Amino acid sequence: MNIVYDISLDEEHVAVVAAHCQLALYGRWVEFNITSYMLHDRYSNHTSTAITFALGNLKNANLRGSSFDGCNDGILRLARGTGSNRQYFDQVISAPTMIGQLLDYSDLNDGGVPAGRTVTGSILRRIESIVETVRQNILMNMATDPVVRQVTLETLHDQYGKKTEKTLQTFLGQIDWRLMLAKAGCDDDQLNVVEYAMGHNPPRFHSILDEPSNDIPLIAFAPINCFDRTTVANLKATALLHNVCGEKNGVEFESTGQITVEEQGYTFVIKPGEFIGCTDPNGKKARLCIHTIGMAVNMIDELIIAYLHIKNKLLPYMKEAIAHGAEKGFQKIPA
């Protein structure tokens, strides 16, 4: 298993930490991304924290490092019979593309041990659901011939069952949760609970030979076999936009591809990857260019971060902005 982190820490408003994990589940290499969003509210002086996930198939050519414990690009080659009657056949092992929340927005400030248990409980339950959804998806896409199906399942179990179980036992404990929650406002008691629980309470494991589990809820997933990183990132970021920028802005973005923000008499029209349209309190217009973060993130994430800066710290935001095509008399600095 490999883990790489992307970090964008902003002392004032928002921090984003992403763990990009590569692991094999039941022989299928997957990329599993966990992202923590920590959003500071200057009015309440508290930070709301959400943790999202995205999972999809991974090609062996994109693996980091030299470790290998999964089927070659998700293809399990099998044989049946002997001699002149020997036949070879392939079984595709695919995981569904899934996105969603590991932790809904929570205020962890001053929450102590109970808040730490809330974080770990939520994440563990969702990880169990994700893994069980992958397992049942593999079962549903197995060959229907009873003999071939049994050979396939037994081969998966023998070659990859123990590796999957070990991965699930160690996976969450290997993630740096102190880094993932660095700006969440957690105290040491909370972080200690999270670290201990993630290292000592692995999610439940079911063998590929077991019947589908009825006591673990499944995750709704997109019916596609390839992991389109851009599509998944956009869907995840759009869901976050609804939570952070409000339902009205979320609906506007889905219908028009932009959001409109009003603050201190200014009106801002924000579109991903474009200059920000700005109308000052006197109706004068300009297009603003500003770099508010020091790393490349999803364009919708940039839109969210621009929204947070405008709503929380308009004056320094406008001081840093470069106005293009400004109409005469445009008021760049708020009164």
User: Is residue 238 one of the residues assigned to a domain?
Assistant: no
Same domain, 187 and 61: yes
The amino acid occupying position 24 is A
User: Which of 198, 226, 254 delimits the end of a domain?
Assistant: 226
Residues 189 and 65 in one domain: yes
Q: Please check whether residues 66 and 39 belong to one and the same domain.
A: yes
Asked, for residue 331, whether it belongs to a domain, the answer is no
Q: For residue 235, tell me if it sits in a domain.
A: no
By the 8 A CB rule, do 138 and 26 touch? yes
pLDDT tens-digit series, residues 220-231: 775 544 444 565
106 and 171 in a common domain: yes
Tokens found for residue 128: 């169990």
pLDDT in the model for residue 99: 85
Residue 195 in this model has a pLDDT that exceeds 70: yes
Q: Does 184 reside within a domain?
A: yes
Report the distance separating Cα 171 and Cα 178, nearest Å.
15
For residue 248, being part of any structural domain is answered with yes
On whether both 308 and 220 belong to a single domain, the answer is no
Return the number of other C-beta atoms located less than 10 Å from residue 223's C-beta: 7
Predicted pLDDT of residue 238: 73
Mean pLDDT of the chain: 84
pTM (predicted TM-score): 0.68
* 332 in a structural domain: no
| Residue of 232 and 111 predicted with greater confidence | 111
Instruction: Report the distance separating Cα 17 and Cα 37, nearest Å.
Output: 7
Domain boundary among 165, 191, 226: 226
309 CB neighbour count, 10 Å cutoff = 21
User: What is the Cα–Cα distance from 25 to 112, expressed in whole angstroms?
Assistant: 34
Q: Is the pLDDT of residue 92 over 90?
A: no
Please indicate, yes or no, whether residues 182 and 320 belong to a single structural domain of this protein. no
Q: Are residues 280 and 213 in the same domain?
A: no
| 207 and 279 within one domain | no
**305 and 184 fall within a common domain:** no
Q: What would the pLDDT profile of 115-152 be if each residue is shown by its tens digit?
A: 888 889 999 999 999 999 999 999 988 878 888 888 89
- The C-alpha atoms of residue 146 and residue 126 are separated, in whole angstroms, by 32
The answer, yes or no, to whether residue 295 has pLDDT greater than 60, is no
Q: How many domains does the chain have?
A: 2
Instruction: Note whether 201 and 64 are same-domain residues.
Output: yes
Do both 211 and 267 map to the same domain? Answer: no
pLDDT tens profile 177-194: 999 998 888 888 889 999
CA 312 to chain centre: 25
Residue 11 lies in a domain: yes
CA distances from 258 to 27, 89, 271 (A): 41, 50, 5
Q: For 309-335, what is each residue's pLDDT tens digit?
A: 888 888 888 888 889 899 999 999 887
Domain of residue 155 covers 2-226
Which of 162, 193, 226 represents a domain boundary (last residue)?
A: 226
- Radius of gyration for the alpha carbons in the chain, expressed in angstroms and rounded: 24
Task: Flag whether pLDDT at 235 surpasses 50.
Answer: yes
Asked if 219 and 259 sit in the same domain, the reply is no
Q: Specify if 239 maps to a domain.
A: no
